């Protein structure tokens, strides 16, 4: 056999070995890929498909957050700022749904001046609703008190008497008393008629028990039973006006500050069959 044929046969043999090795390599790689796919499927929870890779997208810089409850009464911050331009004694705004009470609240160094003066500081027999001089509208006391006249004609705080009606209370269970810096909402927990001997206008409580004891007395005198809870750490709002069922009678509404994130929903109140107020004891 010539050297040329011998060389040609050696070359053919090398090519055959090379092709055979390539087939083996391809088979091994293919098997590995299949095994990997099978393994990934087996490692996924039952019924869950393997993830499909897609082009990455830039993550949003806005984190999703749960929406806060929608307030039942719009903010009055802008109105407060406008009223303060007119009278620097303005410290907040009171809104009582179902009534025309939607007005700035003033505050001064005594509880007498605004009994006989209006928002323009002019002498006026109906006065203007005001915050107790001992209170601080920004740094709330445990009991913040707002006074207003009941002229017997249904104006100013005379409108609060509508809360003697259970249906009216259940339709309007939340009040607004806020400042230029903070919107505040309050759930009504008691409505009662009392006299000046009951010191519901206390603003200072040496102990938690003193505060919760007063709240219990307010509930006991209330015309209605409510499911609005009041704890020792809560803040309450007292709306006080004169009434004429008996001498030195007072009509009072008590409400508890709504906490951040708390729902504004209120379970309907029911009649209190046995209020302990002086008015009901007399009757």
Among all residues, which ones are annotated catalytic?
149, 242
| Pairing mode of beta strands 270-271, 130-131 | unpaired
Q: How far apart are CA 47 and CA 39, in angstroms?
A: 15
- How is 79-94 classified by DSSP, letter by letter? HHHHHHHH-TTEEEEE
Q: How far apart are CA 68 and CA 260, in angstroms?
A: 9
Contact 79, 104 (CB under 8 A): yes
Strand, helix or coil at 146?
A: strand
- How is 120-134 classified by DSSP, letter by letter? TS-B-TT---EE-TT
Cβ-in-10-Å burial (0-12, 13-18, 19+) of 133 comes to middle
Cα 271 → chain centroid: 27
Q: How far apart are CA 152 and CA 87, in angstroms?
A: 27
């Amino acid at each position: 056999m010539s050297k040329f044929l011998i060389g040609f046969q050696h070359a053919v043999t090398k090519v055959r070995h090379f092709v055979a090795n390539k087939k083996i390599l391809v088979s091994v790689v293919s098997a590995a890929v299949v095994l990997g796919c099978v393994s990934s499927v087996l490692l996924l929870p039952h019924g869950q498909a393997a993830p499909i890779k897609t082009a990455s997208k830039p993550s949003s810089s806005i984190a999703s957050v749960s929406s806060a409850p929608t307030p039942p009464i719009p903010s009055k911050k802008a109105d407060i700022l406008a009223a303060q331009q007119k009278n620097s004694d303005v410290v907040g705004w009171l809104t009582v749904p179902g009534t025309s009470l939607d007005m700035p609240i003033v505050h001064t160094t005594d509880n007498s001046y605004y009994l006989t003066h209006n928002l323009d500081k002019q002498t006026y027999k109906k006065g203007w609703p005001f915050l107790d001089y001992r209170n601080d509208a920004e740094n709330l006391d445990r009991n913040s008190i707002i006074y207003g006249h009941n002229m017997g004609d249904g104006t100013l705080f005379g409108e609060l008497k509508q809360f003697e009606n259970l249906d009216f209370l259940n339709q309007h269970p939340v009040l607004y008393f806020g400042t230029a810096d903070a919107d505040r909402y309050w759930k009504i927990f008691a409505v009662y008629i009392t006299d000046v001997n009951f010191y519901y206008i206390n603003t200072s409580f040496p102990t938690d028990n003193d505060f919760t004891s007063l709240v219990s007395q307010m509930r006991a005198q209330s015309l209605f039973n409510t499911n609005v809870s009041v704890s020792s750490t809560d803040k309450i709002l007292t709306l006080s006006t004169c009434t004429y069922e008996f001498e030195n009678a007072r009509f009072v509404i008590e409400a508890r500050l709504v906490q951040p994130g708390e729902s504004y929903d209120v379970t309907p109140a029911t009649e209190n069959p046995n209020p302990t107020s002086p008015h009901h004891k007399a009757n």
